[in-house]
Amino acid sequence: MQPALATLLFGAACIALSPIFVRLSEAGPTATAFWRVALAVPALWLFHSLKRKNNPGQTSPWLLFAAGLAFAGDLAFWHSSIKLTSVANSTLLANLASIFVTLAAWVFLRQKPTGIFLAGLAAALLGVAMLVQTSLAFSRTGLLGDALGVVTAMFYAGYILAVKGLRDRGETALRLMAVTTTITAFILFPVALASGETMLPQTLYGWAVLLGLAWISHAGGQGLIAYSLAHLPAAFSSVGLLLQPVIAAGFAWVLLGEPLVPLQIAGGLVVLVGIYLARRGSS
């Protein structure tokens, strides 16, 4: 389990770098989201070809498209959120996805949530209120950024549900990542063009940032986590992934000079506890 645990933590750290890359990007937020997936596509297909299975399972084109569409919404809204609010707030709010997954099962599948989940939901909402209060006090755009972070979580929840359906059908993790990332790139390209944002970085440094986002955070981080999840208990892995917003906040403090205020730290801790309880209550 030790190599898998190290892989999980390293993968979480790679993904935690993604909001830093987004902040440093010379392209607009939606354009950056496009380059994030477009530049990762060759690496993901290469990984897939090296570990291709003989029997990949029964695929579902509609679920693959749904996963790609949901992931496109996730990235577009999250990158915009990162530009408008703090890295800590944006990343914490995006991690509310697991709560929205259980809420969707409650509303559409009539799966009644447990008391532990409801306690986690209440704690997460309290933590969100504390984070929003911080944004209102320190940033004119923070409230909009926080709202986009919550929308991000909704799209990410849709992605999780689609991925679960595909994995239940026997879809392999690497093929799933390669196909959905390709679909996401095709969806984001016209959206980025229509947004009127800066599409291309102006310097080699700007291209290096995009390559880091695509290869380190997206292909590398997601690939490492996909590997580790196959070798670790699901409950343990879900808790380990809660380190992502913590690590991201640390990176933002050191690299971007975004210190955390006491109310924000308290709100972040309450959100993390809420997410943890919600995952325990829905497993």
| pLDDT value of position 230 | 64
| pLDDT value of position 24 | 95
- Residues 129-160 have pLDDT tens digits of 888 778 777 677 888 998 999 999 999 888 88
- Residues 163-219 have pLDDT tens digits of 878 877 877 878 888 999 999 999 999 999 999 999 999 999 999 999 999 999 988
Q: In the 8-state DSSP scheme, what is residue 96?
A: T
Contact 14, 213 (CB under 8 A): no
Contact 261, 235 (CB under 8 A): no
For residues 6 and 15, give the distance between their C-alpha atoms in angstroms, rounded to a whole number.
14
- Residues 44-91 have pLDDT tens digits of 888 778 776 555 556 778 889 999 999 999 999 999 999 998 888 898
For residues 73 and 282, give the distance between their C-alpha atoms in angstroms, rounded to a whole number.
25
Q: What is the DSSP string of 15-76?
A: HHTHHHHHHH-SS-HHHHHHHHHHTTHHHHHHHHHHT--S------HHHHHHHHHHHHHHHH
Q: Which residues contact 56 (CB under 8 A, 6 or more apart)?
A: 170, 171, 172, 175
Contact 276, 239 (CB under 8 A): yes
pTM of this structure: 0.85
| pLDDT value of position 214 | 95
- Residues 117-127 have pLDDT tens digits of 788 878 888 88
In the chain, the percentage of residues whose pLDDT exceeds 90 is 33
Domain boundaries, the chain: 2-282
Angle at the Cα of 87 from the Cα atoms of 94 and 230, rounded to 5 degrees: 50
Contact 112, 106 (CB under 8 A): yes
